[in-house]
Structure 1
Amino acid sequence: MTSRSLGDRSHDTAVVVAHEIYGVNDHIIGVARMLRPYRCDVFTPSFLPSGFVYPREDERQAYREFMRTPGVMSMSQALVQFTGGLRERYRRVLCIGFSVGATSAWLASGAGAVDKTVCFYGSRIRDHLDVQPAAPCLVVFAAQEPSFSAPAVAEKLAGRRDVVTEIYPCRHGFCDPGSPHYSAEHAHQAWESATRFLGLSR
């Protein structure tokens, strides 16, 4: 596993950004940059072999290779291990995950690996509804998902202890400026909600 960090490691809060199938691409690096003004140290570990980054136009290959290795379960286990390594240096360890990174973060939250989690359009969370996060978790869904009903999954999560759900009238990837489904307005709203939920301050 390779890892990049932004910041001088002078804060008591660490934020881990868990990537999508593409790896640590421009979107993930952009998220880390957006976190710079906040009082936290940011980490963007790559869970792909040798830190590989897939071009966005290679979505099918990226998905196929991700499912072969590492896959969601292995990525979540590696995420638990990575956040565990931060515990000795930080008072709070937080996580923001996108797509497969969001599902991995959801699983890691169930293992008690982080203090708070935000999961952006983690489609496969629907396969792990038995997981009970051990700390507060914000699940952000896009309403227009082709493979499942986000409102139906949100309804199943309703009333779950420490779980908050939000649904935006967008498509998968709406927070990624490089995605054809990007929505600047809703991305801004979701980001403000996420940073408030995590308790991040400037």
Structure 2
Amino acid sequence: MKCRMPPSRGGLRSLKAVVTLLMMHQNWDVLVVLLLTLWLTKMTSVTFSSENVAGDCPGTLYGDPSSTSFAVIVLQEWWGVTDEVKSKAQEVQKRCACVTFIPDLYRGKVTKDYEEAGHWMEGLDWQGAVKDVQGAARFLNSKGLRKVGVTGFCMGGALSLASAALAPEISAAAPFYGLPKPGLCDLSSIRVPVQAHFGELDTFKGFAAPEDARNLAKMLSGKCDFQLYMYPAGHAFCDPNCHRYNKEQTDLAMERLAKFFTEKLT
């Protein structure tokens, strides 16, 4: 899973600094474009209730809940809520014409260090993280969004499947190259629609290798509406910061994901 993490842009602090700088230099044209882009994106930072022992969880919402009937939760990779995760959430929001939501499972922690990311993933309270996803779904339901799907990549993919098994608020799941450990949940209990995306060249056995994907298919065959797509690519092929990134296969996967969620959540 060793891929390069892009530097953080500093979130809202950096945004405020950019706006201030543009105002100081009276660069009104650029400022108007920036503010218009933010308005169209409709990004909102929130805090929602979670039964995780860590307490309330921060999250970021994209889109207008009054303009749609469904939402998709987008779960982070092991780096934390990076710019890439935010970009994926915005892409899903636009492709599906829905609301997307990122719960910050690390509660503000982001890293670009491979070893630190691995340590955080191993030390994550996975049951608690599923509680965060459940809390996020309930929050979205409270906004009038009747159905909630979940997707994620790598660690987020594994948590997507776990949430489909453990959280009744989840109505569909689209995991990317990641399976939870057997002790977390019984994947054969999943009854909601699942669309899984894995790489034929993935070498992470026991987590995302082709045989793991095919075992998942055997487990869920006849149990739920299950789709498995295999791509001629390696692990993390949807991450543009990874040397295994494959744009053609990523675009195909995102097209399939958008069609899946639109069909299953409306």
**Normalization by structure 2: what TM-score?**
0.68
Which 5+ residue runs of structure 1 have no aligned equivalent? none
- C-alpha contact (below 8 Å) 1:13/1:39 kept by paired residues: no
Counterpart among 120, 132, 138 of residue 65 in structure 1? 120
Judged with a 3 Å threshold, the aligned counterparts in structure 2 of structure 1 residues 170 and 72 are, in CA distance, closer, same or farther, namely farther
CA shift for structure 1 position 78: 1.7
Residue 170 of structure 1: SS of its match in structure 2?
A: coil
Q: How many residues align?
A: 197
Question: In terms of Rg, which structure is larger?
Answer: 2
CA shift for structure 1 position 52: 1.3
- Alpha-carbon separation, structure 2, partners of 1:32 and 1:114: 17
Judged with a 3 Å threshold, the aligned counterparts in structure 2 of structure 1 residues 100 and 7 are, in CA distance, closer, same or farther, namely same
1:1-202 matched pairs, under 5 angstroms: 1-10=57-66, 11-37=68-94, 38-48=96-106, 50-55=107-112, 58-68=113-123, 70-88=124-142, 89-111=144-166, 112-124=168-180, 130-131=186-187, 132-148=189-205, 150-156=209-215, 157-158=217-218, 159-160=221-222, 161-199=224-262
Which 5+ residue runs of structure 2 have no aligned equivalent? 1-56
Amino acid at match of 2:178: G
Residue 59 of structure 2: SS of its match in structure 1?
A: coil
Deviates more, 1:139-148 or 1:165-174: 139-148
CA shift for structure 1 position 135: 0.7
Residue 119 of structure 1: SS of its match in structure 2?
A: strand
Q: Percent identity?
A: 23
CA shift for structure 1 position 79: 1.0
CA shift for structure 1 position 106: 0.5
Amino acid at match of 1:154: A
CA shift for structure 1 position 34: 1.0
- Alpha-carbon separation, structure 2, partners of 1:36 and 1:78: 20
